[in-house]
């Protein structure tokens, strides 16, 4: 999913008619790369065509720091932000996000109310989910001609599978993966992490490969690191690796064992000058067909049940997308859901500890 560089996107700027020049403008912030492209194709372009509203697309690297800075300064320039669930929960609790009306979301094509059609846990008072995605790890098949890694434990075994590792620069979800790599069952990970000894254990596992790790911050970096031969394997957002394989023909393989899955949701920063227009965009972009259309561009699962049967082939590569989703049965055998409440409670202290550990 995710990209570090801010851009004023588009190319879609040329898509709206001259008469739209005076129309309302929305600034929508997301993670860049193949993920933002999927949103542009499925949401932005048809919405611009339908309404004439200008959409400025910007990229960020996640978290609430920029949202908080804008809200506290009383100068909110972002109208809509694609957020991880733990950030929605925390941002709502801290008064950084607007509360959203759930009753105006479009029903499913068969009339099922949206609140029943969205998958469990995907609607929040300050966030409306669009996708289910996961952090996995992937490797370059050329680095392991005799057979590559298959388990989370293999990622941390640099003797059996030598080579540099890429990891996201932060505690989440490295701590979860470290514990699963050390033999902790997925359903016990947060129980273990809730103890000082468990946190120490996770950092000890990270210590064991520390000298072999290259850290990444933007979602576009892991596939590039693999392609450039900087790392033999790396954690990554599953959609980024899929995109590299399907559209760039890269020799990468996803290891689904121990995947940590999560949601991304739309949130509106408190004090957005275009709140009403942002809500209308949310309603449009979370309709059944729109979410299914996004799945034609990237391998993230739609947040609505009615969208799932409409998933077809990739819009450019022609690959059947259903089996590529994190929630496909073959991929979901040993999966861990990110515990958003746990992270909302522990994010600050673990960010500090991770930064101190990294600086040693």
Is the separation of the CB atoms in 3 and 36 below 8 Å? yes
Band (pLDDT 50/70/90 cuts) for residue 297 is very high
Write out the residue range of the structural domain in which residue 283 sits.
Answer: 11-132+263-329
Both 225 and 169 in one domain: the answer is yes
For the segment 313-336, what is each residue's pLDDT rounded down to a tens digit?
999 999 999 999 998 889 988 999
For the segment 195-214, what is each residue's pLDDT rounded down to a tens digit?
999 999 999 999 999 999 99
Band (pLDDT 50/70/90 cuts) for residue 234 is very high
Q: What is the mean pLDDT of residues 44-50?
A: 97
Residue 4 in domain: no
Both 54 and 151 in one domain: the answer is no
For the segment 144-186, what is each residue's pLDDT rounded down to a tens digit?
999 999 999 999 999 999 999 999 999 999 999 999 999 999 9
Q: What is the mean pLDDT of residues 297-321?
A: 94
Both 254 and 351 in one domain: the answer is yes
Band (pLDDT 50/70/90 cuts) for residue 19 is very low
Band (pLDDT 50/70/90 cuts) for residue 18 is very low
SS (HEC) of 256-323: EEEEEEEEEEEECECCCCCHHHHHHHHHHHCCHHHHHHHCCCCCCEECEHHHHHHCCECCCCCCECHH
Distance CA 321, CA 310 (A): 10
Band (pLDDT 50/70/90 cuts) for residue 340 is confident
Band (pLDDT 50/70/90 cuts) for residue 216 is very high
Both 320 and 351 in one domain: the answer is no
| pLDDT at residue 103, as a whole number | 86
Quote the percentage of the chain above a pLDDT of 70: 94
∠ CA 333-336-341, rounded to 5°: 155
Residue 103 in domain: yes
For the segment 87-122, what is each residue's pLDDT rounded down to a tens digit?
999 999 999 999 999 889 999 999 999 999 999 889
DSSP 150: -
Both 183 and 67 in one domain: the answer is no
φ/ψ of 321, rounded to 5, equals: -85, -25
Quote the percentage of the chain above a pLDDT of 90: 86
Based on the structure, what is the number of domains in the chain? 2
Torsion angle in degrees (nearest 10) through CA of 286, 122, 95, 74: -30
Both 98 and 246 in one domain: the answer is no
| pLDDT at residue 231, as a whole number | 98
Both 105 and 34 in one domain: the answer is yes
For residue 227, is pLDDT > 60? Answer: yes
CATH of the domain at 162: 3.40.190.10
Both 128 and 245 in one domain: the answer is no
> Strand (E) positions, the chain?
25-30, 54-59, 80-84, 123-124, 127-140, 165-168, 213-216, 233-237, 252-267, 301-302, 336-337
């Amino acid at each position: 999913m995710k990209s570090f560089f801010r851009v004023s996107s588009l190319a879609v700027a040329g898509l709206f008619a001259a008469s739209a020049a005076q129309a309302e403008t929305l600034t929508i912030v997301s993670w860049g790369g193949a993920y933002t492209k999927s949103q542009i194709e499925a949401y932005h372009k048809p919405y611009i065509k339908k309404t004439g509203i200008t959409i400025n697309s910007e990229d960020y690297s996640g978290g609430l720091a920029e949202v908080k800075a804008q809200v506290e300064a009383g100068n909110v320039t972002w109208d809509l932000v694609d957020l991880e669930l733990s950030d929605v929960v925390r941002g709502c609790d801290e008064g950084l996000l607007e509360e959203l009306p759930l009753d105006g979301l479009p029903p499913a094509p068969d009339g099922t109310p949206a609140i029943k059609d969205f998958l469990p846990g995907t609607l929040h008072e300050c966030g409306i989910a669009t996708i289910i995605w996961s952090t996995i790890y992937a490797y370059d098949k050329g680095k392991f001609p005799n057979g590559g890694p298959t388990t989370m434990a293999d990622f941390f075994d640099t003797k059996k599978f030598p080579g540099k590792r890429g990891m996201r620069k932060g505690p989440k979800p490295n701590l979860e993966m470290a514990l699963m790599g050390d033999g902790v069952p997925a359903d016990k990970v947060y129980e273990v992490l809730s103890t000082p000894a468990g946190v120490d254990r996770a950092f000890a596992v990270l210590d064991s490969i520390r000298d072999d790790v290259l850290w990444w911050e933007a979602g576009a970096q892991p596939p590039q690191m693999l392609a450039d031969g900087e790392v033999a394997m790396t954690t990554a957002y599953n959609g980024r690796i899929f995109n590299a394989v399907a559209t760039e023909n890269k020799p990468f393989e996803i290891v689904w064992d121990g995947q940590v899955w999560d949601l991304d949701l739309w949130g509106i920063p408190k004090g957005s000058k275009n709140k009403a227009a942002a809500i209308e965009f949310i309603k449009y972009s979370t309709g059944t067909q729109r979410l299914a259309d996004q799945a034609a561009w990237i391998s993230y699962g739609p947040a609505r049940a009615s969208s799932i049967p409409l998933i077809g082939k990739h819009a450019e590569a022609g690959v059947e997308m259903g089996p590529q989703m994190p929630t496909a049965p073959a991929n979901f055998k040993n999966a861990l859901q990110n515990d958003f409440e746990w992270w909302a409670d522990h994010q600050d202290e673990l960010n500090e500890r991770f930064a101190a550990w990294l600086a040693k």
